[in-house]
Amino acid sequence: MQTAPETAPLSDTLLDSDPFARFGDWFAQASATEPSDPNAFALATATPDGRPSVRVVLCKFWDARGFVFYTNLDSRKGGELAANPFVHMDFHWKSQARQVRIEGRAELVPDAEADAYFASRPRVSQLGAWASAQSQPLPDRATFDARLAEVAARFEGGDVPRPPRWSGWRVVPERLEFWQDRDNRLHERVVFTRSGNGWTTGMLYP
């Protein structure tokens, strides 16, 4: 992994700062250098009996309230989140030799927020949300294509409303770790942990 462009020690730039401001700085730099999807992150969930599952999804919005992604609520991750809302996120930006690990609790976004985002999606993506029984067995691709054609005909000439079982989850962070690659695996790690209305900070060994 290449060494990131920032040379100042993280302890000089992170310990007294807002974790969301730091995330914004890192995200902006990654957006300028990552070849695709700088907003992609690995999302880890778990079943009620503790079996983990992970997949890569896209963060569609973030601010000091948390990090938002969208999905079919009846998908595997939707079912796991409904049963156990605690998650772990990992943004990995190879071009910057950085990652941000986020632990928190997921909660559904308000309907108005989900409606507004769904309306902004390309029409084919909107139709796909209706056609896909996400994570359920699919006998063949032709079945999905037929479902897509059916919903395209159903909504032809009008707006596509948000499906009732499609919405967004906001991960409200309780802990954020900023990881910076250094030569010879002498990496730097700074952790922010929520404490009341603020954050406590500290460093971790590589």
Structure tokens at 121: 């999606």
Measured distance CA(24)–CA(76) in Å, rounded? 30
Measured distance CA(12)–CA(28) in Å, rounded? 20
Active-site residue identified among 22, 76, 147, 185: 185
The three-class DSSP label of residue 13 is helix
Which among 176, 178, 174 is positioned nearest to 195, based on CA atoms?
A: 174
Specify whether 185 is catalytic: yes
Which residues are known to be catalytic? 185
